[in-house]
Amino acid sequence: MRTSRRRIFSGFEEMRQFIKDNSCPEPYSGCWFWMKSVNPQGYGSTSHHGWLVKAHRFSFEAFNERELGSLLACHKCDNPSCVNPGHLFAGTVSDNTRDMILKFRRPRNLVTVGEIKPRKQQSRASTVTEPDVISIRKRYSEGKVYMRELAAEYGVTKKCIHAIVRRITWKHLP
């Protein structure tokens, strides 16, 4: 029998923490990039105690504290691997299609965020800026510092530093 997520995670707070621990915010887009595996369509997922976590869907449920059921978690941004709950909305299959059509007509950076106001989102302030990213990459490439030291210095997770150094996030920067 499939284990229910309720038995794996003690509650929504723990689910939210799981999302935060496995994603990295990028202030440039506001997206939280999923740090674990990404399927061929670009959607984040991971296996957690034998249970498949569909990252963006899981994030929506964790931050909105409700089950999606037959609805989809749709992206307002163009990044399927994004798990920022503020970039997600619950929609039907036709909403999703309509949204995709609208996005093609709309300039990329004008995607608005607002229908969903997750309670905990504000607590996640990223402390990494564009100059920081350049500096982090330079210092790490020079071999003078460990990822964990950079993580402590910038107040982000080691995974986040790893993603910056390996150019998983902030791809537009040198």
Q: Is the dihedral of CA 10, 11, 14, 19 positive or negative?
A: positive
Q: Does 83 bind Zn ion (CB under 5 A)?
A: no
137 is an interface residue for Zn ion by CB under 5 A: no
73 makes contact with Zn ion (CB under 5 A): no
- Cα separation of 167 and 106, whole Å? 27
Q: Which stretch binds Zn ion (CB under 5 A): 50-58, 71-79, 156-164, 165-173?
A: 71-79
Whose Cβ is closer to Zn ion: residue 53's or residue 77's?
A: 77
Examine residue 82 and tell whether it contacts Zn ion (CB under 5 A): yes
The nearest distance, CB 85 to Zn ion, in angstroms, is 10
19 counts as binding Zn ion under rule CB under 5 A = no
Point out which span in 76-84, 106-114, 132-140, 151-159 binds Zn ion (CB under 5 A).
Answer: 76-84
Q: Write out the binding residues for Zn ion, residues 84-113 only, by CB under 5 A.
A: 84, 87
- The distance between the two most distant Cα atoms of the chain, rounded to a whole number of Å, is 52
Question: Closest distance between Zn ion and the C-beta of residue 68, in Å?
Answer: 17
Residue 31 found at the interface with Zn ion (CB under 5 A)? yes
Residue 56 lies near Zn ion (rule: CB under 5 A)? no
* Count of residues of this chain found to bind Zn ion when the rule CB under 5 A is applied: 6
* CA dist., res. 19 & res. 166, Å (int): 20
Q: Residue 109's closest CA among 94, 141, 135, 87?
A: 87
How do 51-54 and 72-75 pair as beta strands?
Answer: unpaired
Are the C-beta atoms of residues 84 and 126 closer than 8 Å to each other? Answer: no
Backbone φ and ψ for 21, nearest 5 degrees, come out as: -65, -25
Residues whose CB falls within 8 Å of the CB of residue 158, separated by 6 or more in sequence, listed in order: 147, 148, 151
Cβ of residue 6: shortest distance to Zn ion, in angstroms?
A: 27
State the nearest-atom distance from the C-beta of 35 to Zn ion, in Å.
Answer: 14
Report the interface residues with Zn ion, using CB under 5 A.
Answer: 31, 77, 79, 82, 84, 87
